[in-house]
Chains A and B, each alone.
Chain A
Amino acid sequence: MIWLCTPLRLLGWPTLLLASFFAFIAIFGAFISPYDPARQDLMSAMQSFSAQHWLGTDNLGRDTLSRLIAGAQTTLIGVTTVLVLAGTAGMVLGTLAGYFGGWLDEIVMRLCDFGFSVPSLFVALAIVGVFGPSYGNMIFALSIAWVPIYARLTRGVVAAAVAQPYIESLRVLGASPARIIFRHLIPVALGQVLVYASADAGLLALAIANLSFLGLGVQPPQAEWGQMLVSAMPYIQEAPRLVILPGLALTFLVIAFNLLGERIALAKNPRPMSRRKLSLRRVLFKKEMTA
């Protein structure tokens, strides 16, 4: 069990268990799910917990457990895609702004200011509204709404690095801008971006669920927790479990992401933040407030 020691020391038991639970479901979901999540069976609709359907069935007779598992996959794939897209675009913009400065810096930072002053759900909603509600457009909209935070983060790291003597020495030695950027600046920024992304994932999961809940993200045949919850709302009296289960699943996923992010940030920066700083960061981090 030696291979478990490092992640365990890094994350602690509760975080490790929760995170690996969700990772397992997302990866092996198709093999462990007892039924096809989209298969309707009107004869066995609205069943409660039973041996055949562990978590019951919904109004169309679809197996709730299978749909919850499929929902985990939808959410995790969406979160990963958005983080990769927004992180890459943000890093490109931020690196260019931080390295070259001048008017480019000014424009990128002003755009970021705009992204920070308007909550991301508004921006995402408007973009989805223009391009039409679908899974792909939701990913696109969220990626755009999430770019500013990564652009600003990267720009800060890069601008601080550029001011240091070692970058200046590289220039004196005749290194090209491309070499400095790719060999020396991006690796520094990438670490910070990854740490931040791990803390950001929970908010993204919430944003995806919010949009799907409003009917603007994942469309019905595909299973997603927010969309499962909204389609179960009319049956809240007869079958509250159809509302409670996806809600709980989402809550625990977000808790897992948040714990993971906190632990990774802690491992990266071992001097623990004071409690006040932590809670301040919680409140003042714009993105935290916008999910």
Chain B
Amino acid sequence: MADEERWIDAARRGDKKAFGHLVEVYQTPIYNLAYRMLGNRSEAEEAAQEAFIRAYRHLDSYDPERPFSSWLFSIASHYCIDRLRRQRIDWLPLKEEIAEPVRLASASPNPEAVVTDRDREAWIQELLSGLPPTDRAALTLHYWYDCPYREIAEVLGLTVSAVKSRLYRARRTLAEQMEGEAYAL
């Protein structure tokens, strides 16, 4: 943590090497956030790069009282939300476009053995792609970053009760999508 504070301090003074250390530390969390949001690896990489570059350009506006991770998540998730909104025409009909989603073999006594990591990934991304961008971000921050409601609210600029509602709504929507599927993992 002390290292991180030093790097942030140095990066704010224009030290690119120090910022490079921060990129190394946060590259996977930011890339994963972008990937879960956008559902595409090359777009996720581009979004992650853009998020880091925006962060570097706006380091002056970072409030050291807040966790650096939240600030970065905020930049990355807003970038992805904007990107998805611009591509709204693409993501709205996505649900219909997916030809044959990956399903679990319900007859199998041990579905975990049947479902490969790749299938699981594809399924998760398929489920996420059916959600509105902000709900997708809330769910991602909740499950992959273990962010408490308050932090999700700060990152996404929402109230805590709006976060709870969005999580509920997202779960409800996804649960309906799982209806009829073999969901006993």
Mutual binders A and B = no
Interfacial residues, chain B to chain A (CB-CB below 8 A): none
